[in-house]
């Protein structure tokens, strides 16, 4: 970096029961699991924080305790991100107006819950998570959470207020992207496409259709790191490398 230079940042968020190292070390998962390292190679500053969803029932009990005072696990996670953004913005090498968020799996849940309510994020990318969330949480079909151990996902009256499309609406006019593997068992591609169509429709109504996109690739519960990387270069205003 040149003296006085400020660069965009991508906050890279791991998934359930993972740690930040798994966004950096190659070969941990299929696909571009080391996406934080790959983005750093492209000249972005990357920051891989540790989130609370680890150690099974311990973090789920924290969520239940928070419910007793009208809060949730994401009340705590959102406060964490606000502090991280304050710290990142204070760094001399960081352009505070160009901080994006990219999360996979449970980090994709974070992509839906945190950036829409935290203005310090210039964009959000949700990987391996976007869905018709009410049906996903309350449904009894094979791809629902009703019969899994992830009992912390239901939030009071969420089905009567917000699903993922409505959460994405809160990103407007900021860019928002979904990355979806065709063989990802967390959702059906048809459900993802139907929910995202609502997002595309609303962005189009404001003349912002170029600020949202859905990339579908032949893969599973993983990061593809192609269309999303292009999205980050374009919307965080950082030149892509001449040779990939």
pLDDT(236) > 70: yes
Res. 158 pLDDT band, cuts 50 70 90: confident
- Of the chain, the percentage scoring pLDDT greater than 70 comes to 97
What are the extents of the domains in the chain? Answer: 7-235
C-beta neighbour count of 197 within 10 angstroms: 12
pLDDT computed for residue 28 by the predictor:
65
Q: For the chain, what is the mean pLDDT?
A: 92
pLDDT computed for residue 18 by the predictor:
87
Q: Using the structure block, give the residue that is written with the tokens 């930040």.
A: 20
Q: Which two tokens stand for residue 169?
A: 């609406």
pLDDT(45) > 90: yes
* Terminal CA-CA length for the chain: 20
pLDDT computed for residue 137 by the predictor:
86
State mean pLDDT over 206-217: 98
How many Cα neighbours within 13 Å face the side chain of 76?
A: 15
pLDDT(80) > 60: yes
pLDDT computed for residue 121 by the predictor:
98
- The one-character DSSP state at 244 is -
* CA 67 to each of CA 28, 61, 64, 78: distance values in angstroms, whole numbers, following the listed order: 34, 10, 5, 15
pLDDT computed for residue 156 by the predictor:
78
pLDDT(244) > 60: no
pLDDT(146) > 90: no
Least confident segment among 36-50, 89-103, 132-146, 154-168: 132-146
State mean pLDDT over 162-170: 96
pLDDT computed for residue 29 by the predictor:
67
**115-144, pLDDT tens digit by residue?**
999 999 999 999 999 999 888 888 877 677
Res. 243 pLDDT band, cuts 50 70 90: low
* Residue 35 burial class via C-beta count within 10 angstroms: exposed 0-12, middle 13-18, buried 19 and up: buried
- The one-character DSSP state at 104 is E
**17-34, pLDDT tens digit by residue?**
889 998 998 876 667 889
Cα gap 138→147, rounded to integer Å? 10
Least confident segment among 57-66, 80-89, 173-182, 235-244: 235-244
CATH of 7-235, one of 3.30.70.1450, 3.40.190.10, 3.40.50.1820, 3.40.47.10: 3.40.50.1820
């Amino acid at each position: 970096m040149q003296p006085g230079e400020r660069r965009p940042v991508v906050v890279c968020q791991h998934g359930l029961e993972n740690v930040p190292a798994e966004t950096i070390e190659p070969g941990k998962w299929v696909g571009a699991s080391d996406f934080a390292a790959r983005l750093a190679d492209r000249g972005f500053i990357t920051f891989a924080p540790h989130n609370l969803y680890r150690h099974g029932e311990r973090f789920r009990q924290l969520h239940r305790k928070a419910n007793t005072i009208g809060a949730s696990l994401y009340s705590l996670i959102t406060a964490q991100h606000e502090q991280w953004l304050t710290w990142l913005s204070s760094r001399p090498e960081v352009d505070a107006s160009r901080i994006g968020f990219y999360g996979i799996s449970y980090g994709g849940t974070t992509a839906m819950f945190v950036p829409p309510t935290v203005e310090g994020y210039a964009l959000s990318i949700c990987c391996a998570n976007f869905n018709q969330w009410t049906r996903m949480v309350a449904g009894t079909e094979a791809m629902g959470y009703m019969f899994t151990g992830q009992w912390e996902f239901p939030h009071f009256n969420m089905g009567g207020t917000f699903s993922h499309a409505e959460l994405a609406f809160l990103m407007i006019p900021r860019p928002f992207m979904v990355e979806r593997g065709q063989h990802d068992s967390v959702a059906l591609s048809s459900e993802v496409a139907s929910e995202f169509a609502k997002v595309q429709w609303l962005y189009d109504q404001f003349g912002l259709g170029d600020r949202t996109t859905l990339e579908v690739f032949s893969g599973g519960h993983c990061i593809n790191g192609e269309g999303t990387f292009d999205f980050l270069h374009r919307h965080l205003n950082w030149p892509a490398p001449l040779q990939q």
